[in-house]
Amino acid sequence: MKIMIVEDDLIIREMLAEIIEKWGFATVQVENFSEVLKTFIKENPSLVLLDINLPVFDGFYWCSKIREISKTPIIFISSRNTPMDMVMSMNMGGDDYIQKPFHPDVLMAKINALIRRTYSYLDIQTNVIEHEGVVLNRNDGEVSYQENRMELTNNEFKILTILMEQKGIIVSRERIIRKLWENESFVDDNTLSVNITRLRKKFDDMGKFDFIITKKGQGYIIP
């Protein structure tokens, strides 16, 4: 399992990574604090340690952005000690709160307990696919790009999922249709063309042009 550390103090960040790695977890340390969500999507961590006081946007902001697409457990770490900060942490979607300075054993007890509670019942699966700023949320079938969002029909969602899972690879029309029929989505050649046209129009409306490319005689590709 991988734990993402969002802490702008280098000494504390490296200390956290050392403690966590001794327990056998992998870590990823965020260094660009304007791309916390992008790093989260790319790394798909099992748990996030999130400081409140951060450059650019604070931890509350990033917690709310993560909660829009994921239920991954989040532990706030902060030197703040007011009840309001703890209440805010929980209200924004945090799962636990630990105050600095903290004892390493207490930190790891919280991490281990939260991971046990979360993953003993859930199938660990990537629920988000991201490419060139386009984020496809498998949970609700919604697509976002920058600040824009769009909802997909069932067939549009399945087609886009196939193409994004195979990004950089040409996917034939026959393969898409066959895959949809396997999932009891009865799509013929004409229906596929209509769905692709609608998907492109939706991406154009969001300002993401040429996201799905046609390869004549071969199929479609998200490059």
What is the CB neighbour count within 10 angstroms for residue 109? 12
pLDDT beyond 80 at 186: no
Question: Mind listing the pLDDT tens digit for each residue in 7-19?
Answer: 999 999 999 999 9
pLDDT beyond 70 at 42: yes
Amino acid sitting at position 28: V
Structural domains of the chain ordered from first start: 2-119 (3.40.50.2300), 128-221 (1.10.10.10)
When pLDDT is cut at 50, 70 and 90, the band that residue 125 belongs to is very low
Amino acid sitting at position 165: E
Give me the pLDDT at residue 178, please.
85
What is the CB neighbour count within 10 angstroms for residue 49? 27
Cα 127 to chain centroid, rounded: 7
pLDDT beyond 80 at 70: yes
Among candidate residues 42, 27, 36, 39, the one with its CA nearest the CA of residue 54: 36
Considering the chain, what percentage of its residues have pLDDT values greater than 90? 53
Rounded to an integer, what distance in angstroms lies between the CA atom of residue 40 and that of residue 67? 11
When pLDDT is cut at 50, 70 and 90, the band that residue 29 belongs to is very high
Give me the pLDDT at residue 64, please.
94
Provide the greatest CA pair distance for the chain. 64
| CA-CA-CA-CA dihedral for 76, 77, 81, 87, to nearest 10 | 0
Q: Name the least confident of 15-19, 62-66, 98-102, 198-202.
A: 98-102
